[in-house]
Every structure is written in structure tokens, then in C-alpha cells.
Amino acid sequence: MWAVLVGALGARRGQAVVVTLVALLASAAVTAAPWYAVKATQQVGVAAVSSAPVEQRLVSVSWLAGWRGTDGVTSEAAMKQARKDFRPPGFTTIDGAFAQGGVRRVGSTGTAAVVKVAYRADVFDHLTVTGSRPSAAGEIVLPAAFASEVSLRVGDEVQLTGGKKPSRARLVGVYRVIDPSEPYWADGYLVGLGSDDRSKQATVFTVPATMSDWEQTTYSYDLLASPRAFATMDVEDLSANVNASLAALGQQGYSTTGSSLDGLLDRIAQDRRTVLAGVGVGVVVLLLFTWFALAVVVREAAVQVRGDVGWWRLHGAPSGRGWILVLGQSVAPLLAGAVIGTTLGFVVGRAVSGPIDGGGDRTALLLSLLLLGLTLAGGLVAVVSAQVGTLFTPARDLLRRIPVRRTRWRRSLVDLVLIALAVYGVVQALVVGRSVEGLPLLAPGLAALAIALVAAWAVPPVANWLLLHARHAGRPAMALIAALTARRPETHRLFALVAVAIALVTTAFVGWDTTSRSQWDRAALEVGADRVLTVDADDPAQLLAAVRSADPSGTNAMAVVDQPSRAGDPSVLAMDTSRLGVVTGWRKEYGGDVAQVAAALSPVAPRPVTLTTNRLVVDASGTDPAGAPVHLRIRLRTVKEGTSVDAVVGPLTDSRHRYTADVDACTGGCRLVGVQVLGGKDADAASGDSGEAEALGYVPPTAGSRVELYPSAGADRSSLPAALLSEPTRWRPGLGPRDLGPAIAAGRGSLRLTLPQIPEGVSLNRNDWAFVADTPVRLPALIAGWSPDPTDETRLVPLPGAAVPAQIVRSASLIPRHGSIGTIVDLSYAERLVPFSLSGGQPQVWLAADAPPSIVSDLRAHGVAPVREESMSDRLDELRAEGSAVGERFQAAVALVGLLLAAGAVLIDAARERPGRAVELAALRTQGVDAKVVRAVGYGGLGALVGTAALVGLAAGVAGAAIDRILYPGFVDGWSVLPTADARVVPVLAAAVAAVALLGTVVVASGSALVRQARP
């Protein structure tokens, strides 16, 4: 008996191989799927935490010394107890403290500069320190720019205020923050990124011992969610525990923040549910389609063994052995394919998923075995149901070449039930939308199945109609093809299988394409360019100069200062608008055509004044009503590096006199920024603002002081141009809303600057600067999502500092990186209008996709060091880890597996039909039928069925894609600044190409074999 079974398998080895391959493919797919699903579920937690803003990852506990009479020792003990009691899993902890204080040089009688004094665990790993790191009480470091502004150097003795009494300290180093936006800095308060004005004050970092007796010290305990830990974190349990602990700490007098963490945890939970829904739908579709394909394949194989069973019965073989012969020819290749496919599935699943955390591999293994069992059970049921009729059919009927026709009421009933389920699922999906659950999640596939079944019912009647039409028209090839299609016993099932397979591929490709383009649109909007480098730059002018030197072509890099929204002011992007082409995926929503936007934001303005000399010559005179000395400060910026150069001349006499100052940095050219009237020298003068007289060790002059500037004969290239001094309109005062600048007028062959007297009771600040007017009178701006007050002067803060007059020249609906609300201005004009910008903006360099790798080293060579990089590719990776994207990719893989299964079914059907059809075609050829007709029938018999099913499948797939778009959950965080990308024809064509490539190969191969066998 077993030898007969082996012989039967050998005789029909083609059929056995195809059944084995179908079983192998199905088993591999269902075995690998759980590994992908488990890994994806873990990745969404990691990706969500990695991409979340710091405020969502941060939980903060603080204690203010002095609360309820506590001193420093008691406060430190309270924080120690909080750290002991509150240590949730999955967080890194950072301890610290800060307080308000002041700093000034020892012996100085001037006002102490207001600062924040702080220590923070491991802070010096996040600072670039020039000098030494504080290691003992009384040692401090200051921001490098701030130390320069207040004229402090490493080694100076300073006085700190803020403790119970002033204390001495030594400046052992100056620092720059490596990356102010990194999560370590929590809310950014210590590095100027906080929401209140005190955040902008410089921070003095020291060791804890320095602040041991300080009053009003805030002790902090920050906890930051660690991405890796959230791969397997039970977020619902974590949320409950954290909220309970924070509530308890609050009742004990601690200040706590962490409400934004709930949003992050909810997002992770929701995204995991989305993954399970998307992958679950794919698994269900895979199982159902696998069972469908196995049923068709096994039924095709069953037809081929009918003769064997009939012959066996005629020879009186026992019925039990008949079961072995009948079932064995399908079960043996089915089990063989399952064994090989299971092994392959485990290997592929582990390779695709990589390492899985926290026992997830055990979960994946159990799910793989469960799905494999279900697949095999369905396959065995299909084998038995297909063959049981054969076993009970009389021998005379089994030996008939044409099976006895029977009513198909069972099949029709099943089809009607499936169509009813499809209608229910589609209606529910259309009514409920993306919040639907259960069966309606399968609506796209159910819709495709319903369309395929209805079309399958129509195939025989249409084929019969074509048969009659072709006979009357005298077209034998068409008539024979129609006749074969109408009488093919498995037309209904095969047609539906192929149509559903192609429909699933079409729906999956359209969904994947739509999701991918939506992700790309979001990433382009949020990142702004292919790569965005946050850099360490001293000021905007140096940033501009460095980028232009590193990229002289102007096509690869763009200087940007990104200023987030604060205190009700809209966010501002100050961009080098001559290089707007660097922006990735420029959209019409950004304000229109890129060239038009650039022209509107950077209109023609008076040319800058450039001096090329190493020795500046100034003819001037000056007087002070109180008889105090008067000096003049000339501020320049080097053209190549953008560094500031200050030249001070004086004291000025009351009559015209020539003064000189060394400006070696201007040998290659310097742009004239402006001039400032100064008073006399004062060793104790200090200021944190580089634009004030005290920053250079001078005092402000008396109101009414006057300076006159004269053309310098014989020094055209090293002095202020005569045309500039003869035209007061080429000069302007400071533009801050409370600035009261000097009166600028023409004297007798000179430019006269007269300092005003501020009336009592008027809240104005005297600004002793006169700047060169080399910008538009009002700063051109593009706005989105807000509008200025029409009853008030329009002002903007283009760079951290004063608000300057602005003119709205263009409106948009979106701003790169800032979404629906923001502002764009030209960085060059902004820097000239705010020449002494404060810290707070984020200097960036935006890089185009084709920027050479060497540009980063070129930027470093020009003094701009990258501290952080964002990229389109990284952001896309984060978005692709979201649940909706995971589900789309999995369903696309399932659809391709389904297409391969359908191809296997077509191959089996062709093999079953080939012997009988070859005899029939050979007979027709012998009777004189043209060889072309035989070839057309040989290829077209199967090709017409598959081609028609492919067209129906493409149409059903488009319908399924429309339903899938309704069910598309969107981004897990609810982001909807841009609509979901529109569907397009490209993925439909891709699905058609995939179907033609695979099924067309099967049809051609089968037709070729049939034509060869049909030769008389």
C-alpha cells in the first residue's frame, strides 16, 4: 500500500511539489508573523519615548529650602527620602539644585550681574569647559559669552550673592553648553530654554558645597523616561504607580510635575493596540486566505486521483487502504511543506525581528505554534472535505473523464453568507470609521471577496454568451476559450482566489504608498531639511559667514536661527532666504513659490558699508554738558568670519581731531555696524549686555552729549565714507520698543549725534547707538496662523532681544518645523536689525539631500561645531515604527504571500487540466484546425480566466483601498497638520505589474507545456 502511495506521488510529482510549496509558503508565513508582531509591539514603545518631547518624558520632584521652616540640611534630607521612596522603573535620575544669585568681581562697587547658581549631577559631561572643572567649594564656571561681557577671566576672584551673606569664589573656567536641547537639561531652565525671563539669566555651575548655606534654594530630582526600558513596560501599571506616588509627594510638600507623561503612556498603549489590530487583521487574512488556497489546491489535486480510486475499487481493494491512498497524496506533501516552512519561518522571523526583550521570544514562539496548528488544521479539513466525496462516489462515476454534474447549492449558500458578512463589515466601517473594532476591520478584504464572488458567478454566463457570439462571428479561438472557461469545473473558486489575491495586493500597495507619503510629508514639515544640524555658534553673523564660506555655491547649506514661541510671541525662523531651496519638499502652503517668497523676504536695501584696513581713521569731536570725557565706539564685523570688532577712540575734544585705532581683523574687509557714544572709563563698570557702555569698562555719557563725525581726507578706504556722513538718512537709532536713541542730523559738513534726555515718568531706555541703515525700514515677514493687531504697530522679535518694526509681506498656512503657526524672516536683515542678540535661539545649519559629507568638517573649520543632528531618515524611522505603519507593511507582506499562494493554485489547476486539454487540442489539430488557433486556445484558456480575475481584482482592490482609507488610524499622536496623502495610480500599476509578472509567468509556462503536448 505504501509503495502504491509513493508511486502515485512520483507519478504526479509536479502536483506534489506544488502542494508542498504552497504548504511551505503558508507555514513559513504564519510562523514568521508573530516574531514580527512581537518585535513591532516592543519597538513602538521605544520609538514613542525616543521621539517624544522632553516635557512628556520628564517627571520632576523639587523642594524649596525654607518651606515650612526647613533649612538646607533638612531640605537635602527631604530630597534623599524622595529619591528613596520614588524610583519607578524605566527612568534615569538626575539630582541638582539652583538658586537666584549675583556675581561681580571682588573689589568692584558696581551692581552684581544677576545669575542663577546651580549644581547638577554629571553636568560637566554636558559642557565644554575651557579651564578647570569646579572640584571644591567656592570654585565656579561661567558661560564663556557672559564672562566676556562682564569682563571676567579665568582665575579672577568674584563675589557671589544669594546665600546668607556674600561669599568669595574663584572663576576656574568658562563653558559652552554642548547641546541645550538634549533631554539631560529637562525643562531647559538652566540653559536659557525655559518659559520665563529668569531662564535667560546666565547660570553659574559649581559643586554642592558652594551652596550649602544658601537660602531659597530649589532642590530638584528629575526622572527621564529611558526609551529602551519601554520595549516591554506595562504602561498602564506604570501610569497608576507614578500618579499615586506624585500625589503622595505633593501632600508632603514637594512640588511635582509629570502630567505630560500620561499622554506619552497613553500614546504607547494606543500604538500597541494599533499594532495588534493591524497585524491581527493581517494574520486573520493570511489564515483565511491560506485555508482558501489550500482548499482550492487540494480540491484540484483530488480531481486527479479520482481515476486511481476507481481503478483501486474495481480490483476490490479494502476501503481503509483507499483512505490512505486518497488522503496520503495530499497529506504527505502538505506535512512535508509544513515541516520545511516552519523551519524557514522561524529562521526568517528571528532574522527580521532581531533580539526581543523581556521574554517576548517565548510569546512569539507560542503564537507561531498556535498559528501553525490552525493552518495545518485548516489544511487537513480541506483535504478531508475535498476527498470524502471521492471515497463515497461509485466506481463508474470515478472513472468518467467528465465528472457527474451536481447542484452547487452548498457553494452558493456559503457565497451568500460571505457576501452578507462583507456587506455588514463595509457598512459598519463606513458608519463608524476609524474607531471600528472586530469584523469590520476586515472590511477592505471582505469587500474584495464579495466583489470577487459576485464576479465569479457572472463568469460562466458571460463565457457562454461569448461562445455564442464567437460562433456566429466565425472566431473559433474565442469560441473554444469561452467554452473551456464555461465548462472548467473549478472556474468559480479559482477566479475568486486570484481576484481576491490581486485585490489584497492592490489595497495593501495603495495603503502602504499613502502611509509612506504621509510620513514623508510630516517628516519634511517637522525636520525642514534633509539634515538639520544644531550648532555651537557665537552669534547669527558668525553663523551666516561660516555657512556661506563652507558652501559658496549656496545650494547645499543654509544658516537658520530657530526661535521657539515664548510668552505669547509666535515662533520665528530667521533663515538665509537666498538659500531657501535647501528646504526639503517646499510646499505651496509655505507661502507660494520659493523664489517669490525669497524675493519678498529679502527686498533690495541700501548696500552695507565695508571698510578694508588694518588701521581705522576717524575725524570727530565731542562734548559732554557736565564736562566729562566722551569716547566713541565703532562696531564692525569681519566679512569673512562675521566676528565683531570694536574700536574705541577718544577722549574726544570739543574741536575736530583725527583719531586712529588698530583693527587688524579688518584687513580682509569689515562691515560697519554702527557707532556708540561712550562716557569716561570706569574699572568697576560691568554689564551682561555687550551693547552697553559698561561691557567695555565705560560709563554712559550725560544726556545732551554731542558727537560730530567728519569725513577723513586722504583715508578713503580706512575711514567712514564721506557720502555716509553727509546723509543722515543712512543712519538709524536702536529700534527696540522702549529705545530712545540719539538725534541724528547733518552738521556743518558732519554727522551730528545728540543724546536725548528722557523725561521723568516716561518708561523709555536711552540707547546711545547710531546704526548704519542697510536693511529695509521694516523687517519683511511671512506669517502663518496668526495676525498682528491692526490697531498697533507691528513688531517682531526676529532674534532673541528687542522687538523691531516689521511688515507682513506674505501669508502662509504652514511654516517648516513649526507647523500651522509661525513666522519666517531673513536672517541677514534680522541680524543687522538686532546686532546684539541675546542667547535663546537655536543656531542651525540646514543641509540639502545632496550636500557632500565634507561640509560638516568645513563648518567646523569655520568655527561652527555641530552638537546635534536631526535628519529626515531618522524621523521617518520613528514614524515607520508607529502601529499604523507596522500594520500596513505586514498586510502588504501578507498580500504578496497570498499572491504566491494564488499562483500555486493556478499552477495546480493547469496541471490537472493539461492532459485532457492536450488530447482535445491534438484532436482538433488533426482535424485541420489552424495551429494559431490551437496556440491561442492553449495560452488563452487559462490566460482569459486569470486576466479577467486580475482586472476584477484590481477594481476590487481600489474599492478596498477606499474603505481602508476610512479605517486608517492616522498618526498615533493625533497629528493632523497635513491631511493624509491622496491615493494615486502608481501603486495600482505596481500591483498590476506584480500580478502580471507572477501569474503571467505561470500562465505562459502552463500554456507552453499544453501547446507542446497538443502536437498531433
Please give the Cα distance from 36 to 276 (Å, whole number): 11
| Cβ atoms 670, 641 nearer than 8 A | no
The stretch 688-702 carries a mean pLDDT of: 75
Decide: helix, strand or coil at residue 787.
Answer: coil
Under the banding of pLDDT at 50, 70 and 90, the label for residue 505 is very high
676 alpha-carbon distance from chain centroid:
47
Please give the Cα distance from 736 to 802 (Å, whole number): 5
Q: Flag whether pLDDT at 410 surpasses 60.
A: no
Entry field: residues in the chain: 1016
Task: Check residue 716 and give its pLDDT.
Answer: 67
Among 204-218, 296-310, 466-480, 571-585, name the one with the lowest average pLDDT.
296-310
Radius of gyration of the chain (CA): 40
Matching residue, cell 536683515: 829
pLDDT winner (highest mean) among 359-363, 747-751, 821-825: 821-825
CB neighbourhood size of 986 (10 A):
11
Please give the Cα distance from 847 to 579 (Å, whole number): 10
* H/E element, 843: strand 842-847
Under the banding of pLDDT at 50, 70 and 90, the label for residue 633 is very high
pLDDT in tens, 143-155: 887 887 777 888 8
pLDDT in tens, 382-396: 777 766 656 556 555
Q: In what order do the strands lie in the sheet with 615-623?
A: 657-662, 615-623, 706-710, 751-754, 743-746
Q: Which three cell numbers stand for residue 438?
A: 472586530
* H/E element, 649: strand 644-649
Task: Check residue 864 and give its pLDDT.
Answer: 85
What DSSP designation does 839 have?
B
Mean pLDDT of the chain: 82
The DSSP annotation for 29-67 comes to HHHHHHHHHHHHHHHHHHHHHHHS-HHHHEEEEEEETTG
Q: Flag whether pLDDT at 198 surpasses 60.
A: yes
Q: Which three cell numbers stand for residue 561?
A: 536661527
Q: Flag whether pLDDT at 703 surpasses 60.
A: yes
Among 550-559, 620-629, 845-854, 926-935, name the one with the lowest average pLDDT.
926-935
Three-state SS for 923-971 is HHHHCCCCHHHHHHHHHHHHHHHHHHHHHHHHHHHHHHHHHHHHHCCCC
Please give the Cα distance from 221 to 964 (Å, whole number): 47
φ/ψ of 771, rounded to 5, equals: -105, 150
At 970, the amino acid letter reads G
- Please state whether 627 falls in left (phi above 0), alpha (psi between -120 and 50) or beta: left
The stretch 102-131 carries a mean pLDDT of: 83
The stretch 713-727 carries a mean pLDDT of: 79
Please give the Cα distance from 869 to 844 (Å, whole number): 9
| Cβ atoms 191, 69 nearer than 8 A | no
Of 849 and 292, the one with more pLDDT: 849
At 899, the amino acid letter reads L
Task: Check residue 199 and give its pLDDT.
Answer: 67
Cis-peptide, bond into residue 651, ω within 30° of zero: yes
Please give the Cα distance from 680 to 370 (Å, whole number): 88
pLDDT winner (highest mean) among 135-149, 326-340, 655-669: 655-669
Q: Flag whether pLDDT at 782 surpasses 90.
A: yes
Identify which of 445, 450, 428, 446 has the alpha carbon closest to the alpha carbon of residue 437: 428
Q: Flag whether pLDDT at 750 surpasses 60.
A: yes
Query: Which is it for strands 670-678 and 769-772: parallel, antiparallel or unpaired?
Result: antiparallel
Task: Check residue 689 and give its pLDDT.
Answer: 60
Please give the Cα distance from 615 to 613 (Å, whole number): 6
The stretch 287-308 carries a mean pLDDT of: 69
What DSSP designation does 569 have?
B
Please give the Cα distance from 781 to 785 (Å, whole number): 13
Strand partners, 117: 99, 204
Q: Flag whether pLDDT at 10 surpasses 80.
A: no
pLDDT in tens, 361-381: 888 888 888 888 888 887 777
Q: Which three cell numbers stand for residue 788?
A: 498682528
Under the banding of pLDDT at 50, 70 and 90, the label for residue 992 is very high
Task: Check residue 320 and give its pLDDT.
Answer: 53
Task: Check residue 707 and give its pLDDT.
Answer: 92
pTM of the model: 0.81
Question: Measured at the alpha carbon of residue 72, what is the angle toward residues 68 and 77, in degrees to the nearest 5?
Answer: 85
Q: Flag whether pLDDT at 400 surpasses 70.
A: no
| Cβ atoms 223, 88 nearer than 8 A | yes
Strand partners, 759: none
Q: Flag whether pLDDT at 67 surpasses 70.
A: no
Q: Which three cell numbers stand for residue 558?
A: 543654509
Task: Check residue 402 and give its pLDDT.
Answer: 55
Please give the Cα distance from 815 to 809 (Å, whole number): 15
The stretch 550-577 carries a mean pLDDT of: 85
Which residues lie closer than 8 Å to 853 by C-beta, 6 or more apart? none
Query: In angstroms, how far is the first alpha carbon of the chain from the final one?
Result: 37
Q: Flag whether pLDDT at 11 surpasses 60.
A: no
φ/ψ of 150, rounded to 5, equals: -95, 15
Alpha helices in 395-490, H assignment, sequence order: 395-398, 409-432, 443-473, 476-487
Among 405-409, 607-611, 768-772, 883-887, name the one with the lowest average pLDDT.
405-409
Q: Flag whether pLDDT at 70 surpasses 70.
A: no
Please give the Cα distance from 684 to 113 (Å, whole number): 12
Dihedral of alpha carbons 885, 226, 118, 251, sign: positive
The stretch 321-336 carries a mean pLDDT of: 69
φ/ψ of 881, rounded to 5, equals: -85, -5
| Cβ atoms 753, 656 nearer than 8 A | no
| Cβ atoms 213, 72 nearer than 8 A | yes
pLDDT in tens, 227-238: 888 888 888 888
Percent of the chain at pLDDT > 70 equals 87
Q: Flag whether pLDDT at 131 surpasses 70.
A: yes
Task: Check residue 3 and give its pLDDT.
Answer: 62
Beta strands in 650-737 (DSSP E): 657-662, 670-678, 706-710, 731-733
Alpha helices in 230-318, H assignment, sequence order: 235-251, 259-304, 306-314
Percent of the chain at pLDDT > 90 equals 12
